[in-house]
Structure 1
Amino acid sequence: MIKEIDVTDFKGKTVLVVGGSRGIGAAIVRDFAASGAKVRFTYAGATDAAKALAESTGAVAVQADAADRAALLQTVRDAGPIDVFVYNAGLLINGDPLELDADAVDRMIDVNVRGAYHGSVEAARAMPANGRIIVIGSVNGDRVPFPGISAYAMTKSALQGMARGLARDFGPRGITVNVVQPGPTDTGMNPADGPYASQMHAVMATGRHGTVDEVTHLVRYLASPGASGTTGAMHTIDGGFGA
């Protein structure tokens, strides 16, 4: 008889979401809080949004810049042993690479790559056996369908190598490391009725933006006991954008 595994109950689990005040991150915070987890999340500048989310969910909001390694590591340590670590912080700098500001590109690398690596490693130090590390990447780690996003795509591809390597490093402890790769998703950064929506929909199998709930359902599964054999993998949820 196959034992049914509950992917909705996270009572007694500690979850830290880096970059959780808006969009996909906020949806992940709400989802884990509703599932009974003790949730902390970081935010950089969206103070009002972070306070409102904390009040509505009972989660703890912590102001910390993901590009500041010392601040990020201290935030992870302060959370105590973390059962589920979700790294959602990310920046998108796009445009002609010959004209992009180099400092802006470096900051994007700091947030998208260095923060993801150092945060994941620090979380793993005190993580209990069978913990979960989930990084929110992008379908652009696999596919670059238009010009102007080479640096951004580079950062998202870097997460793939990181996850494969850390999966082997932490596998003996039962800790899994996975990357969730959303395609066009309806958020403030990329609204479903935005100026480029029709162009994106034209090449998607579903012909529509994804929703934050679709992404959170995948994240919750990867955080569940049922995903114990899934690690070092990329999980694309893009409505067939890259098909």
Structure 2
Amino acid sequence: MTLQLEPDIAFGMHPDFGVAAAVADDRPFLDEVLRKHHFRHSEYLDVYLLPDGTPHNTALRTVASATREFQEAGLSVAADPRIMIPPSIPTPDRVPARATQPGQHLTALTRQLHELRRAADVSEVLGEILNEHHGVVLDLEEFIDTAAAWCERLGTPNGHELGLHLRNIAHHVAFLGDQLVGAQLELAVMPDATPENAPPLAEVPLPDRQEWLRVTHTARARAAAASSPNRPANSAKHQDRAGPPRPQNPSATPSRTR
């Protein structure tokens, strides 16, 4: 077996121009595929670059699509893991920006569930999406709040109305997060484990969306009495979300910087 030390194509991050692609030689096929995926060759840098202003997620999808085409043609591809790190979210002046990190995609976490057998391990995975710093639940709430602020910035009646509607949706997401915290706590105290002869999770039919499973009062009480590893019991923010929906303020803008 011959090991190829130098890849045919390498993707990485340029500090000033974003995602870049470098090729091992000037084969026309490499140029053709990269141009097909909107990369353009820079004579000055001798690398391929995406157009200025390409959104981060669009760049990731482009790299994934080009990589798949190269690999299907039998070529080797290398990618710097740092291209997965998203850019920081803009913040007001004198407010420190939140540190960016790759986080874990929900698809990866769902796949991880298929490999677990202990309830406590499932609780840990659930904690990933509830994390105060990079959890997808709080990220979703922040995204919706920011979309609401964008609508309100239009300064039109329709914009304010849609902004209020989006903020209401954000409150529902916050409530969902609190309910998931309760489920996480309940899993954390369960000593149960999946039997060795249990069928694979992929073969277990998912319940119909209209089927509501009854939760016992004992389970509710135990989860309510426990403190969350992600949201301490004495957190004012948690207490606010556990109560009635917060009053709507059409002129408010998101100030969360996490």
TM-score (norm: length of structure 2)? 0.24
Larger strand share, 1 or 2: 1
- Greater RCO between the two (CA within 8 Å, min separation 6)? 1
Question: When the two structures are superposed, what TM-score results if normalisation uses the length of structure 1?
Answer: 0.25
